[in-house]
Structure 1
Amino acid sequence: MKTSDKILQTIKRKGAVTAKQLSEEFGITTMGARQHLQSLEDDGILAFHDVKVKVGRPTRHWSLTQQGNSLFSDRHGVLTIQVIDAVESLFGKEGLAQVTAEREQHTFKQYQTALSGCNNLYSKLEKLTQLREEEGYMAELQAHDDHYILIENHCPICKAATRCPSLCQSELNVFQKLLVGECHVSRTEHIIAGERRCTYTLTPVL
């Protein structure tokens, strides 16, 4: 993978980064990192903002533009929207709701089977994170003192979910049903609401 592609992957997963952070991660000079960042900015893929520090010059942080985010796959986005439009046209909003419910049930059963061999909450969350990563959500799990956070840095169904928000609610429903009695699940960041990523706070039931 080219360095520029690695940089984009890193920013997609971690959010805004500095040239120094990239130089340390990839073993290149800070100047080299800046050259890659500048080139990506020239292409309209990255933008920067300066953060004031107590001493010295402001620190420059680079993040993806809308064009940069569009480089990451949205699985069959246009086709999916066309299908959603067709279903709603033929069967109305109720028919679309039934299709969403059927997808939710199918996803729930698929995940439930995959998690059936896990013998504790943490192993279930690890497996769920792995499933979401394999589906293109760029997922990661963070463990904190009294809760976990499931982070999804990308949404491969973003266009469809924007057109049909019940798809997002459906995914939250699946997580809640999978982990009922073991932890409370709430969505705390949401890509569709304009945030950089989706995050779910998972609080074990005491």
Structure 2
Amino acid sequence: MKTSDKILNKIKREGKITARQLAEDLSITTMGARQHLQALEEEGFLTFTDIKVKVGRPARHWSLTQQGHDQFIDRHQDLSIDIISAIDDTFGSSGLNKVITQREHTIYERYQQQLAHCHTIQQKLQTLVQLREQEGYMAELEESDSGYLLIENHCPICQAAKQCPQLCRSELHIFQTLLADECQVQRREHIIQGANRCCYQITPL
């Protein structure tokens, strides 16, 4: 993977970053990191904000522009949106809901088969993260004070979900149903509502 791609992926996953942090993480010089960041800014993929610190110059924090975020959008998004519109136009909202329900059932069954081999909640969550990572969600699992955070740094169905919010409700329902006997699942951050990521708080019962 090219250094520029590594940088875009890192910022997509972790959010704002400084040249010094980037240099340490990629084992390159700070000057080299700045050059890569500036080049990506010139291409329209990055922007920055300067944040005041107690001593010295303000710290420059780099983040993705909309063009930068668009590098991660599913190439099939236009087709998905067209299909959603066609179903809605042809069969109405009830027909669209039936399709989404069937999609939810199919995904739930597939996830359930994989989680059936897990014996602890942590194993189940790690398996769920692996499944979501394979599907392009750039998923991670973190421990929190009340349990776990399932973090998705990218949404490959984002554009379709903006047109059809039922998709997001369906995905939350899948998680809640999968873990109903052991955990409570709540969405804390939501990409289509302007957040940088989707984040689910998972609290053991």
Matched, 1:50 2:53: no
| 1:139 shift after superposition | 0.2
Match of 2:6, SS? helix
Distance 2:96 2:75 in 1: 19
- Are residues 1:6 and 2:2 paired? no
- Report if aligned partners of 1:186, 1:200 keep a CA contact under 8 Å in 2: yes
1:98 matched to which residue of 2?
Answer: 98
Q: Which amino acid is the alignment partner of residue 141 of structure 2?
A: L
Aligned partners of 1:75 and 1:157 also within 8 Å: no
Please state if 1:181 is matched with 2:189: no
Q: How many Å separate the matches in 1 of 2:24 and 2:48? A: 19
Partner of 1:110: 110
Instruction: Give, in whole Å, the separation in 2 of the partners of 1:115 and 1:63.
Output: 35
| Structure 1 residue aligned with 2:59 | 59
Report what 1:81 is aligned to: 81
Deviation at 1:75, TM superposition (A): 4.7
Aligned to 2:202: 202
Runs of 4+ in 1 over 6 A off after TM superposition: none
Unpaired segments ≥5 residues, structure 2: none
1:27, 1:112 → 2: CA distance?
40
The answer (yes or no) to whether the contact 1:118–1:124 under 8 Å persists in 2 is yes
Displacement of 1:73 in angstroms is 3.3
2:46 maps to a residue whose letter is L
TM-score of the superposition, structure 2-length normalised?
0.98
Q: Does 1:21 align with 2:21?
A: yes
Equivalent-residue separation in structure 2 for 1:88 and 1:25 (angstroms):
47
Shift of 1:124: 0.2
Using the alignment, how far apart are the partners of 2:44 and 2:196 within structure 1?
A: 18
Paired residue for 2:135?
135
Partner residue of 1:41? 41
Look up the match of 2:119: 119
3-state DSSP class of the match of 2:177?
helix
- Look up the equivalent residue of 1:93 and give its one-letter code: S
1:50 match: secondary structure: strand
Structure 1 CA distance for aligned equivalents of residues 48 and 66 of structure 2: 13
* Identity level (%): 59
1:72 counterpart SS class: coil
Q: Which amino acid in the other structure matches residue 172 of structure 2?
A: L
Q: CA RMSD in A?
A: 0.8
Deviation readout 1:76-113 (Å, 9 max, x if unpaired):
10000000011011100110011111101111111000
Measure, in 2, the Cα distance between the counterparts of 1:15 and 1:73.
17
| AA at the equivalent of 2:196 | R
Q: Is the 8 A contact 1:104 1:174 kept in 2?
A: yes
Counterpart-to-counterpart distance in 2, 1:144 and 1:96: 37
The amino acid across from 1:193 in the alignment is: Q
Paired residues in the alignment total 205
| Superposition TM-score, scaled by structure 1 size | 0.98
Distance 1:149 1:169 in 2: 18
Contact 1:142–1:150 under 8 Å retained in 2: yes
**Contact 1:191-1:197 within 8 A present in 2 as well:** yes
Structure 1 unaligned regions, length at least 5: none
